[in-house]
Amino acid sequence: MLRISGINILGVLLSAICIWLLGFLWYGLAFERVWMAEMKYTEDMVAGAMEPVLFFVGGGLISLSLALAQALAMRAFDATDWPRATRLGALIGVYIGLPMAGFDLVYNVDHSWTLFALHGGYNIVLFSLAGLVMALFWGKDTEAEPAG
């Protein structure tokens, strides 16, 4: 399996896809109505603003960046088995993702606790999921390592 700096690239790519899909499920299905109401969006506004290239490419690049950051943290903290990787992901979500969601709470005129919970919860779940998915592929190699 292709590795760069000891990181399984297939795990990073699959993790990025999972992050992107989680965003679709979280904001597009599970919490769509709550998110739209809190953002003061109408269906017409959302439909008119959808630029497919930006939506797919931009969301994919952000997801890939987050997955790579998760992989680097996993390597740095030697959290490559699924329990430690998932726990590390949850901690990243709580200590980085949740405070990032807090910017909207503090600086947005509406100070929406609902959006804070929605974005913060998403960050915690996404980093936990990213850690789990990557850990499942961390040690997987299709070719034997040369003896050495």
Locate the domains of the chain by residue range. 3-138
- Crossing angle of helices 82-92 and 59-76, in 10° steps, is 120
Give the pLDDT of residue 148: 40
Name the H helices within 40-80: 43-49, 52-53, 59-76
Walk along the chain (148 residues) in steps of 10 and give the mean pLDDT of each run.
83 95 93 93 80 83 95 94 96 96 91 95 96 87 43
User: pTM for the full model?
Assistant: 0.85
